């Protein structure tokens, strides 16, 4: 199984539905609810592609909610400017914590296989820089991470439901355990050296 992490697919999907605000059945109302991650607001080692994609989702949704979104007609010439707030379109972001154990999308065997392919694809110079032992230690750490997290994904589903149905939906829903909430608070509100000292080492 190969998982493609791309915020561009999310952007295309959202833009393809914005025209529905003209629909007589849904006049000037609507919801945009996207899923991001708690890692969209704090960087962690060895997850650069994942963190990058989630930061992009957050940025797009924040702009969509608070500012103007330019949508081109099929001609590519005329531009309409949409104020999401003015049109009653509410935008929410779901920022889950660690639910790997509940989704089983990140398994030990998958990590080991990707690690093997990464090592084989490296140049000899890069292999010499990192060293086999250091690289394998990173792989083992990721394998341990795959066993962690919440097994019950209902908090994420509930957050989606609330984002779609509440009269006044939150800008962000954070279905995560106490450890993840504490870490997110430290990363967001305290100086960076505190976060790095506590969680990065």
Q: What is the pLDDT of residue 72?
A: 44
Location of structure tokens 């509410």:
90
Report the 10 Å Cβ neighbour count for 179. Answer: 11
Q: Radius of gyration over alpha carbons of the chain, in Å?
A: 20
Tally of residues, the chain: 201
Location of structure tokens 């990058």:
52
pLDDT tens sequence across 104-146: 777 888 888 988 999 999 999 999 998 999 999 988 888 888 7
Fold of 7-100+151-200: Rossmann fold (3.40.50)
Please state the rounded mean pLDDT for residues 76-86.
Answer: 47
Q: What is the pLDDT of residue 74?
A: 45
**pLDDT > 90 fraction of the chain, expressed in percent and rounded:** 39
| Token pair listed for 98 | 């660690």
Q: What is the pLDDT of residue 103?
A: 84
Give the span between the Cα atoms of 21 and 89, in whole angstroms: 8
179 has catalytic annotation: no
- Is pLDDT larger for residue 26 or for residue 162? 162
Q: Would the pTM count as exceeding 0.85?
A: no
| Token pair listed for 88 | 């009653």
Catalytic-role residue among 50, 55, 82, 199: 50
**Closest to 167 measured CA to CA, from 37, 20, 29, 21:** 29
Domain ranges of the chain: 7-100+151-200, 107-145
Query: Is the predicted pLDDT of residue 17 greater than 70, yes or no?
Result: yes
Please state the rounded mean pLDDT for residues 179-198.
Answer: 93
| Token pair listed for 120 | 């084989």
Q: What is the pLDDT of residue 97?
A: 92
């Amino acid at each position: 199984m190969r998982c493609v992490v791309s915020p561009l697919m999310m952007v295309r999907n959202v833009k393809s539905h914005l025209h529905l605000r003209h629909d007589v059945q849904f006049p000037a109302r609507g919801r945009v609810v996207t899923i991001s991650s708690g890692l969209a607001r704090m960087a962690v080692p060895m997850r650069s592609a994942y963190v990058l994609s989630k930061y992009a989702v957050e940025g797009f949704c924040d702009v969509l909610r608070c500012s103007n979104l330019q949508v081109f007609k099929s001609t590519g010439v005329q531009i309409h400017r949409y104020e999401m707030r003015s049109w009653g379109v509410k935008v929410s972001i779901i920022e889950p914590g660690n639910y790997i154990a509940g989704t089983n999308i990140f398994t030990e065997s998958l990590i080991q296989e990707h690690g093997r392919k990464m090592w084989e694809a490296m140049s000899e110079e890069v292999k010499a820089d990192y060293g086999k032992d250091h690289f394998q230690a990173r792989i083992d750490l990721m394998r341990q991470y795959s066993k962690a997290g919440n097994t019950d994904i209902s908090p994420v589903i509930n957050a989606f439901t609330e984002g779609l149905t509440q009269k006044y939906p939150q800008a962000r829903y954070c279905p995560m355990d106490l450890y993840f909430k504490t870490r997110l608070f430290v990363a967001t509100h305290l100086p960076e050296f505190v976060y790095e000292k506590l969680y990065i080492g």
